[in-house]
Amino acid sequence: GKKDEGPSYAFVTNGVASFWDIAKSGAEAAGQELGVDVTVLMPNGVVEQKQMIEDLVIRGADGIAISPIDPDNQTEVINEAAAATNLITADSDAPKSDRMFYLGVDNYEAGRMCGQLVKEALPDGGKVMIFIGRLEQDNAKRRRQGVIDELLDRSMDPTRFDPPAEVLKNDKYEILGTLTDQFDRVRGKQNMDDTLTAHPDLGCAVGLFVFNPPLILESLKSAGKLGQVKVVGFDEADETLQGILDGHVHGTVVQNPFEYGKRSIEILHALNQGDTSVVPEDGFINVPARQIRKDTAEAFWADLKSKLGE
């Protein structure tokens, strides 16, 4: 029972990953600051995500932020929850739903930023392989598509989808494919190992989920190819940042999970206090993605560490 306690807010992720650890720290930091109760839940799959949202509504959460796994098909659950409490989406949007607004990056754009990094790393073109946890979720699809479209110099079209089974190329870049690991790290590393075997002339490996770049680095290290194959990452795992400093990773695109968590809670609290000024006109609060290269890595990492209280 929570009757006479203060307001409580919840953040529902789209899975369990270290990316969300950072968001959790952000949300909890906001909770401490505001003196409110904050819960971060990490479901496995849509079924569990639905159940968690339902249970949170029943529990009487005063505001919920979620990162929907399959936004197009989760409209109902989101609407139901939105009818009961303040609801925003973070990290991944559900534009067709009644969510109040979306807070996060445009994953397609972030993907294109990542693509730019690949172009920088491989100015003369070459073979590129994409590694990702899984492809089903919306942000993954868009992020990957952004990378591909940027490399192939295609127009901006976030709705495009190239099946993972196809080899895509233009005169410079050959995208060999997209390998998923379903969050199994051993698999993730093996995917890179086998790619190195099959394509000794691999130019660049792109790791799109937070744990992918570190696995790519592990694999390169054990193959003695560190520095020979370019690596472009996504998100800010410690190993990735260290890799940038060491010169083994060309760069990474960081979202701002800490901000996702922190600002979600702050905004939900404001809404709960009746302050509607926080609602953006266009329904989108952009927490822009950034490219981190060797020159910016150190400062970024120091800042991150201080935020996480390390």
Name residues contacting another protein, limited to 74-93 (CB under 8 A): 74-77
Among 125, 126, 158, 164, indicate the residue that binds another protein (CB under 8 A): 164
Asked if residue 17 lies in contact with residue 184, where contact means CB atoms within 8 angstroms, the answer is: no
Among 123, 155, 165, 274, indicate the residue that binds another protein (CB under 8 A): 165
Check residue 132 for interaction with another protein (CB under 8 A).
Answer: no
Instruction: List own/partner pairs for 54-60 with CB under 8 A and 24 or more apart.
Output: 54/80, 54/81, 56/10, 56/12, 56/81, 57/81, 57/84, 57/85, 59/2, 59/8, 60/2, 60/8
Check residue 242 for interaction with another protein (CB under 8 A).
Answer: yes
Among 126, 152, 154, 190, indicate the residue that binds another protein (CB under 8 A): 190
Least distance from another protein to the Cβ atom of residue 297, Å: 15
Least distance from another protein to the Cβ atom of residue 35, Å: 16
Least distance from another protein to the Cβ atom of residue 135, Å: 6
Burial 134-147 (b: 16+ CB within 10 A, else e): ebebbbbbbbbbbb
Return d(Cα 119, Cα 122) in angstroms, integer: 5
Dihedral angle sign, alpha carbons of residues 74, 77, 80, 85: negative
Check residue 191 for interaction with another protein (CB under 8 A).
Answer: yes
Return d(Cα 214, Cα 93) in angstroms, integer: 27
The CA-atom distances, in angstroms, between 260 and each of 139, 171, 250 are 15, 39, 25
Check residue 222 for interaction with another protein (CB under 8 A).
Answer: yes
For residue 185, give the 3-state DSSP assignment: helix
Least distance from another protein to the Cβ atom of residue 146, Å: 17
Check residue 200 for interaction with another protein (CB under 8 A).
Answer: yes
Site string for another protein, 95-114 (x = CB under 8 A): -x------------------
Helix (H) or strand (E) holding 9: strand 8-12
- Closer by beta carbon to another protein, 80 or else 120: 80
- Closer by beta carbon to another protein, 42 or else 289: 42
For residue 291, give the 3-state DSSP assignment: strand
For the record, the structure tokens of 135 come out as 């492809």
Least distance from another protein to the Cβ atom of residue 12, Å: 10
Least distance from another protein to the Cβ atom of residue 183, Å: 5
Least distance from another protein to the Cβ atom of residue 277, Å: 29
Check residue 198 for interaction with another protein (CB under 8 A).
Answer: yes
Query: What Rg do the C-alpha atoms of the chain give, in angstroms?
Result: 20
Return d(Cα 291, Cα 242) in angstroms, integer: 15
- Closer by beta carbon to another protein, 119 or else 134: 134
Check residue 39 for interaction with another protein (CB under 8 A).
Answer: yes
Return d(Cα 178, Cα 40) in angstroms, integer: 30
Site for another protein in 254-293 (CB under 8 A): none
Check residue 138 for interaction with another protein (CB under 8 A).
Answer: yes
CA atoms within 13 A on the CB side of 289: 23
Least distance from another protein to the Cβ atom of residue 281, Å: 25
Check residue 228 for interaction with another protein (CB under 8 A).
Answer: no
Check residue 166 for interaction with another protein (CB under 8 A).
Answer: yes
Among 98, 157, 194, 275, indicate the residue that binds another protein (CB under 8 A): 194
Check residue 70 for interaction with another protein (CB under 8 A).
Answer: yes
